Amino acid sequence: MAQERLAAIVGLYEWPKRKDPGVSAMQIKAASIKHALDDAGLSWKDVDAVYDAGDGEGGGLGAVAAYLGLRPNVIDTTQVGGSSYEFHAAHATRAIQEGKCKVAVLSYGSKAATQRIPIGTGGGRAGGSWSTNMEAPYGMTLIANYAMVAQRHMAQYGTTSAQLAEISVATRHHAMRNPQAVQALHDMAVQNIGELTVADVLESRMIADPLHLLECCLVTDGGGAVIIASPEVARTTKKKPVWILGSGEALSYVTNTGDITTSAAAQSAPTAFGQAGVKPSEIDIAMIYDSFSITVAVMLEDLGFCKKGEAGAYIEGGRLRYDRPGAPALNTDGGGLSSNHPGMRGIFLLMEAARQLRGESTSQVPNAKLAVAHGNGGFLGSLHSGGTIILGAD
């Protein structure tokens, strides 16, 4: 069926360096916005909506607008972790539909690597609030949550470490075709720079059982910007628009009867696919938040690419590679596992999905028409957010 063209990504820019001590996080954001506007053929005066997650030195309250001297009609400071930018894309689309704005900017900047921010190992403080009283007193860290989900998935469905390792192998295959990702591996002093095998992943050291080092995302500097415009503006921009066809937002949290192997995507995805009028089987590109291998496995199921418990078998044999038809190509920029993860990676999912639908990816899927970008924020297996965006080529 023909999808309604609600709004479009018309400009994007990804900060090229993964370790960049010479700039601030705000400088990354500002410069990325300028480059993204140039990519769209737009100017600062065209921007009338600012979406900001208070990252880096943003300071919240949409302070990036003050830094840039903008006076937007729409300001959105939604902060739901790594999926913030999928939420922003959904909110910008609605604001455009309501006639409140025509050109919205999303931006991100982080110095996580330079500042040696211990992403993934945080938590574990004594005490806790009402929302963490069953976790924080016992030293639960971010990665421990994900490891717990992996253990449960293995026990409940028979998933193996070798199957999960296939995710790292596929994303590294894509990374080796992306010069920025290859440079990132050098900058991060990764010892094994090159294609990976399942054995390489399983022989890397254990970080949180059963997750190995090569199943864990990099910690990098980075950022970027995305410009979302109304259909009228999109038809006049420099490059062909990438249309936002559907969106879904959800939260998930622990309950006494809940299943920690089911993520917020189980709620957000049906809404997004339903609005777009497409099925998971029609998707060419799956940009899925890959903080850890288990994150991808769970979300492949919850996004509808396979049934619950079947992700292990689904990803075997390199099916998620861009050059292996039969399944959507996964994280074709190299993902958080082998390209960049400055802390909140959701904006990069939107950018690479848009590049694919423009025909500009370094691991280009021929004739790509439909993509999904799904972000995850918070702790899988605990309180977390899920944002799903369905994108279509012009």
179 CB neighbour count, 10 Å cutoff: 11
Task: Report pLDDT for 70.
Answer: 94
Task: Report pLDDT for 34.
Answer: 98
Over residues 158-167, mean pLDDT:
98
Confidence of residue 127 (pLDDT cuts 50, 70, 90): low
Task: Report pLDDT for 325.
Answer: 79
7 CB neighbour count, 10 Å cutoff: 27
Task: Report pLDDT for 164.
Answer: 98
Residue type, 362: T
Strand runs labelled E in 231-288: 242-252, 285-288
Contact 84, 349 (CB under 8 A): no
Confidence of residue 13 (pLDDT cuts 50, 70, 90): very high
Q: What percent of the chain has pLDDT over 70?
A: 96
Over residues 47-71, mean pLDDT:
86
β-pairing, 103-111 vs 370-378, is unpaired
* pLDDT higher than 60, residue 224: yes
Task: Report pLDDT for 153.
Answer: 98
In terms of C-beta density within 10 A (0-12 exposed, 13-18 middle, 19 or more buried), how is residue 1 classed? exposed
With H, G, I as helix, E, B as strand and everything else as coil, classify residue 372: strand
Three-state SS annotation for 287-316: EECCCEHHHHHHHHHHCCCCCCCCHHHHCH
Task: Report pLDDT for 63.
Answer: 83
Query: Residue 181 to residues 176, 212, 270, 293, 362: CA-CA distances in angstroms?
Result: 7, 20, 32, 18, 10
Locate tokens 């806790």: which residue? 128
Contact 198, 87 (CB under 8 A): no
215 DSSP assignment: G
Task: Report pLDDT for 254.
Answer: 85
Q: Distance from CA of residue 187 to its chain's centroid? A: 21
Distance CA 52, CA 62 (A): 6
Task: Report pLDDT for 1.
Answer: 44
Task: Report pLDDT for 120.
Answer: 66
Confidence of residue 128 (pLDDT cuts 50, 70, 90): low
Task: Report pLDDT for 58.
Answer: 66
CA angle 220, 226, 230 (to 5 degrees): 165
With H, G, I as helix, E, B as strand and everything else as coil, classify residue 257: coil
Token pair for residue 174? 């894509």
Q: Which tens digits make up the pLDDT trace of 237-292? A: 999 999 999 999 999 998 888 899 999 999 999 999 999 999 999 999 999 999 99
Mean pLDDT of the chain: 93
Residues 6+ apart with CB under 8 A from 146: 208, 211, 291, 292, 294, 295, 379, 380, 381
Contact 187, 19 (CB under 8 A): yes
Q: What percent of the chain has pLDDT over 90?
A: 83
Flag the least confident range among 77-86, 128-137, 328-337: 128-137
- The whole-model pTM stands at 0.96
Confidence of residue 59 (pLDDT cuts 50, 70, 90): low
Contact 241, 10 (CB under 8 A): yes
342 DSSP assignment: S
Residue type, 298: V
Token pair for residue 53? 């997650």
The class of domain 7-115+219-393 in CATH terms is alpha beta
Q: Which tens digits make up the pLDDT trace of 287-346? A: 999 999 999 999 999 999 999 999 999 999 999 999 987 899 999 999 999 999 999 999
When comparing pLDDT for 191 and 131, which is higher? 191
Distance CA 113, CA 21 (A): 9
Confidence of residue 374 (pLDDT cuts 50, 70, 90): very high
Task: Report pLDDT for 117.
Answer: 82
3 DSSP assignment: P
Q: Which tens digits make up the pLDDT trace of 114-125? A: 998 877 666 545
Domain boundaries in the chain? 7-115+219-393
DSSP per-residue codes, 314-325:
HTGGGTTSTTST
